[in-house]
Structure 1
Amino acid sequence: MGQKVSVPKAGAEIQVIGAGLPRTGTASFSAALEILLDGPTYHGGTQISRGAPIKVKSWIKALQYWVKGDASSRIEMQKIVRQRLDGYTAVTDAPCSEFVPELLEIYPDAKIICTTRDPIAWENSMVQMQKHSNGLWKRLYGVEAGSHGRDTYARHIAWLKETVPEDRLVFFDVKDGWEPLCKALGKKVPEGIPFPRINGSEEINRTAQYHIQQGLMRCGTILAAVSLAVGVYMTI
């Protein structure tokens, strides 16, 4: 995971839903979960950008159903999500960090953990990637690409607090290392294994270049087209 596609494991089921926004340490969080849960994590950004084209197409289809918003479309969207996440012990990063209500219905026993970061630092980091998530976030937060700053971060946190039952929601900063994460999951701190640290700014730049070379930037354009005509999904 992180910058390598994870392979599903037969019999694995989602135990953790990562609700943190991109650039909040989701890659490091994903690596930590793979160690603690002894199974693969579906890190959205990595799986979609570096995985087989069918994965991109299936997520676009899921988003098309999600945009429609009616009951039957919601069921179809959840079928696709369930298929994509089959064989994984956790899911992190976009787009699933914005699909928390749907994931709660699919995986009612999963723990919801939101990775956090200083909002100003997050705002600065998002400049590198926010243009690729315009369509999805415009519907959720009502702002265009280039405008996803600390206000968007605050809206996401507030949305989670309204959406997720208090006893199911945990906030976690990867800078704090193993202890709080292990406590939340009821796991022992791994002996002799440092907490993973993945995805610095230089790594993001290298990944962006990879995306350009592979032509996968089209995903952001398609997602923008899907939700351009719809109104704001949520106002907080």
Structure 2
Amino acid sequence: MKVIVASFPKCGTKTLHRALEILGYKVHDFDDHMYHFRDEWLDILKYGSKKELLRKMYENVDVVCDMPAAFYWEELLEAFPDAKVILTMRSSEDEWYGSFRHQVEALNSSYRFLAYKIVTPTGRKILEITRQLGYVAFSCPPQRFTRSLQNPNVQIQKRRYREHNDGVLKRSTKDQTLVFNLSAGWKPICEFLRKNIPETPFPHENRQGELSKSMFQLPLFIQAEKEFRLVTALFVMFLSVTAACLLLHLR
């Protein structure tokens, strides 16, 4: 592990993910955490982290970003003490909250995503994990993570976001941490990581919650799609057999 992105979700993590890939790092984002380590993260969210487990999970990964890893940046740093920490923030709590709500609403409006959560093993496991994430991130009772954002007390959500950022700033060492503004482009991050500045322009990913459209191309959701088609096929077969048996009985 070389870099821990400690940024709260919806703080440019997808842009940072792509930038770090361009710099040659192997990056694990939310979908990678869920694809490779669903059972491990569910155990961590429920019962607490173990340094040995985190080291085993990510020993062959260069960078982690987004939830749930960002909520455990200190534990990851304990497991990988030589790693560098990068923190990005929105210009204000209101901007962060508005962006996060927009993402949540986009996901909640996806019937395809809803179908996965209801009928596929992968979707149901992710649903169970997001219930625990709601508690870890916002101190809500275990419930769907997106629902925790719909809590009427908006100030609690903003306070959790603020406390997370303050915690990173206060508890990480200055020489090991970069507070990075995405608008600054390549220079600060390349100097911090001792990388040459690429010729390609600095990326800008997940504009206006576009991830909700592209996420179905990711391995995690391709797996859920296969499971959904299998379950649908079995259900149709069951209905066909049941209908045939009823017709035979009526004759």
Could you list the per-position Cα deviations for residues 152-182 of structure 1 after superposition, in whole angstroms to 9, with x for gaps in the alignment?
2211111112321233222112222111211
TM-score (norm: length of structure 1): 0.68
Q: What residue number does 2:31 align with? A: 46
Q: What residue number does 1:29 align with? A: 16
- Choose 125-134 or 88-97, whichever is displaced more: 125-134
1:99 aligned counterpart, secondary structure = helix
- Correspondence 1:164-183 to 2 at 5 A: 164-183=172-191
Distance in 2 between the 1:163 and 1:199 partners?
Answer: 29
Distance in 1 between the 2:177 and 2:134 partners?
Answer: 21
The verdict on how the C-alpha distance between 1:46 and 1:103 changes in structure 2, with shifts beyond 3 A counting, is same
Query: How big is the alpha-carbon RMSD for the aligned residues of Structure 1 and Structure 2?
Result: 2.8
- How many residue pairs get aligned? The number is 187
Displacement of 1:87: 1.5
Q: Letter of the 2:132 partner, please give it.
A: G
Q: What residue number does 2:44 align with? A: 62
Q: What residue number does 1:71 align with? A: none
TM-score (norm: length of structure 2): 0.64
Residue 4 (structure 2) aligned to one of 7, 17, 25: 17
Q: Letter of the 1:41 partner, please give it.
A: V
Is contact 1:62–1:80 with CA below 8 Å preserved after alignment? no
1:111 maps onto 2:118 in alignment: no
Q: What residue number does 1:204 align with? A: 211
1:122 maps onto 2:122 in alignment: no
The verdict on how the C-alpha distance between 1:141 and 1:164 changes in structure 2, with shifts beyond 3 A counting, is farther
Residue 214 (structure 1) aligned to one of 214, 224, 229: 224
1:154 maps onto 2:155 in alignment: no
- Correspondence 1:71-86 to 2 at 5 A: 74=49, 77-86=50-59
Structure 2: 5+ residue stretches without partners: 109-126, 142-147, 226-251
Distance in 1 between the 2:74 and 2:15 partners?
Answer: 24
Structure 1: 5+ residue stretches without partners: 1-13, 67-73, 216-236
Which of these two proteins has the greater Rg computed from alpha carbons? 2
Displacement of 1:199: 1.4
Could you list the per-position Cα deviations for residues 28-78 of structure 1 after superposition, in whole angstroms to 9, with x for gaps in the alignment?
111211222x231111x12145x25xx212211222331xxxxxxx4xx22
